[in-house]
Homo-oligomer: A and B are copies of this chain.
Amino acid sequence: MSSLTLINASNIIDSALKAARKNNFSPLAIAVLDPGGHLIAFKREDGAGIARFDIAFGKAWGSLGMGFGSSELTRRSQKNPQFINTLTTISQGRMVPSPGGVLILDHEKAIIGAIGISGDIGENDEICAISGIEENGFIAANGIVS
């Protein structure tokens, strides 16, 4: 397994922000976490609300927590709301059922981290997450890692 360096994480964030500005999305908060769920790097654009760090962090943490992106968690939460409520409480809010949390894989498909983005609607947040990962030569997994 390779590991995600600070330079990798910073580049992924900057690429995701470039995608957001090109698409004229709302101001974003972007967190990149290591496989243990610990923050490597974070940026919050001017104008993003004060809860955006926690939401972005939770999308990434929940992706690592379950082993799949937060899009999949969103689908499961619609099927089984009670279980998601429990996960929310168990994780102290760090499992956020909204798109924008995406796993970062290396070329052997090992999970080497996760990105979480909040600020626009979840679908737009996810577009930026995937763009940031792929532009830096990593593999983005927004669903179940097969």
Contact = CB atoms under 8 A, between A and B. Distances in A.
A140 to B, nearest CB: 17
Interface residues of A, number: 55
Contacts of A78: 82
B83 A82 contact: no
Given A36-B35, A81-B81, A86-B96, A51 B91 contact: yes
Contacts of A97: 82-83, 86
A46 B35 CA distance: 13
Contacts of A80: 98
Interface string A16-52: 0000000000000000001111111111111111111
A94 B93 CA distance: 13
B45 A58 contact: no
Contact of A46 (B5, B55, B58): B5
Contacts of A66: 49, 51
A53 interface: yes
The 9 closest A-B pairs by CB, nearest first: A36-B36, A51-B65, A90-B93, A89-B93, A49-B67, A42-B42, A77-B82, A38-B50, A54-B90
18 contacts: A3-B46, A5-B46, A6-B44, A36-B36, A36-B50, A41-B43, A41-B44, A49-B67, A50-B64, A54-B91, A81-B81, A84-B85, A85-B85, A86-B88, A86-B93, A86-B95, A86-B98, A88-B89
